[in-house]
Amino acid sequence: MEKIFVPPIKSQGIKTKLVGWINSNINGIEYKRWVEPFMGTGAVAFNVRPKTALLCDSNPHLINFYKSLQTKEISSGIVKSFLTEEGNNLLKSNGEHYYIVRDRFNKNGNPLDFLFLSRACFNGMMRFNKNGGFNVPFCRKPNRFAQALVTKISNQVEYISEIISYSDYTFLNQDFKETLKQINPSDLVYADPPYLGRHVDYFDSWSEEDEIALNNGLKNSNAKYILSTWLSNKYRTNNYIFSVWKDCRISTKEHFYHVGAKEDNRNAVYEAILSNFEMSDSIANSTMKKRIENNESQLTTKVKTYSTPVQMSLVLEEEKSAKLLK
Ligand SMILES: C[S@@+](CC[C@H](N)C(=O)[O-])C[C@H]1O[C@@H](n2cnc3c(N)ncnc32)[C@H](O)[C@@H]1O
């Protein structure tokens, strides 16, 4: 398989592990422009490498970072000297410098500081408080920016700068509802919204109304679309797949797991990709639903509906087990 490119920015929703699967499912599909209403770190777009793309996100810092590469305000050379210097400051201060950069970033939003924080924070997470301030603590490794890592990050920046320079990409900081209005029928849309009822932060909250608005907007656009979502974990199955997205086709990694996988992968979240066209490895959603109802699915149990308080306590339990809550 072709080597997967990993972007310089990290985030908990990053899809580097899924791009091979997504790419193989859209092999041979024709489109004029690639559109991502939720580009996040850009992991999918920078691996698909379309010629023309509209890449959007409600998080201004992500868009600002990629725009700075596009205008060449930031280059791999600038990244290398910045991270070397700030990495030395971090080491000398025994980690305290992380909080100086975080305060500075929360005042001026500098894209180089954003990159530094993304690579020095706890678990490569991206979270913002209600005022939009980055609030993830330090990863507690003062020697975070050893020379090999700085070189690796500047190479990642170099790779993306190159792709952007020979492609026609537009980066927009906007809500997905604006992006939906800009979709043409000849586009191929990859939608990777926050997973409903899971992580929530200032730039990354998501409701049932949002999920329905996304579904309606995609349908009305008449474009081909793919949606990344979760199928199930040990607690529950994502029943929105079989309500809001019931008309779609679905591709799961079911056949990658052997019988008894439910027991072996207790903390796993199984992913699904939905589409409104025939992907090479997809079945109708209604067929998947029947498989689950007949207990034939190795990944999921029957869909259960929980009240909101029960659902929220399950989410907390899941987050604790994923060590996302400290
Ligand atoms: C699951 S992540 C996307 C991850 C991306 N595919 C990747 O590989 O990095 C979801 C993204 O949606 C963005 N987002 C959340 N709410 C949004 C909204 N209302 N409109 C546009 N983007 C939104 C978040 O900022 C986040 O970057």
The stretches in the chain having pLDDT less than 70 are 1, 197-200, 254-268, 298-326
- Sheet containing 270-275: order of strands: 168-173, 52-57, 33-36, 187-191, 224-232, 270-275, 249-252, 283-284
Nearest to 272 by CA among 227, 210, 313, 312: 227
**CA of 36, closest atom in ligand 1:** 6
pLDDT of residue 201: 76
The pLDDT of residue 151: 98
- Tell me how crowded residue 7 is: count the other CB atoms within 10 A of its CB: 24
98 vs 145: CA distance, rounded Å: 12
Length of the chain: 326
pLDDT for position 299: 67
CB 85 within 8 A of CB 116: no
CA 25 to chain centre: 18
What tokens appear for 199 in the block? Answer: 């992580």
Task: Look at residue 325 in the predicted model and tell me its pLDDT.
Answer: 41
- For residue range 227-265, list pLDDT tens digits in order: 999 888 777 788 899 999 999 999 987 655 443 444 444
CB atoms within 10 A of CB 258: 8
Closest atom of ligand 1 to CA, residue 206: 16
Residue identifier of the C-alpha nearest atom 26 of ligand 1: 40
Residues 6+ apart with CB under 8 A from 220: 180
Q: How many CB atoms lie within 10 A of CB 272?
A: 24
Could you tell which of 23, 39, 54, 57 is best to mutate to test the pocket of ligand 1, judged by most ligand atoms within 8 Å of the CB?
A: 57
The alpha carbon of 250 and the centre of ligand 1 are apart by a number of angstroms equal to 21
How much is the pLDDT for 267?
Answer: 58
15: Cβ below 6 Å to ligand 1? Answer: yes
Cα 92 to Cα 75: distance, rounded to the nearest angstrom: 26
Instruction: Tell me, in angstroms, the distance from the centre of ligand 1 to residue 259's CA.
Output: 34
Ligand 1 pocket: which of 5, 38, 125, 177 to mutate (most atoms <8 Å of CB)?
38
Q: Residue 280: its pLDDT value, please? A: 83
> For 79-112, what is each residue's pLDDT tens digit?
999 999 999 999 999 999 999 999 999 999 999 9
Q: Which amino acid is at 253?
A: K
| Residue 98 CA, ligand 1 centroid: distance in Å | 25
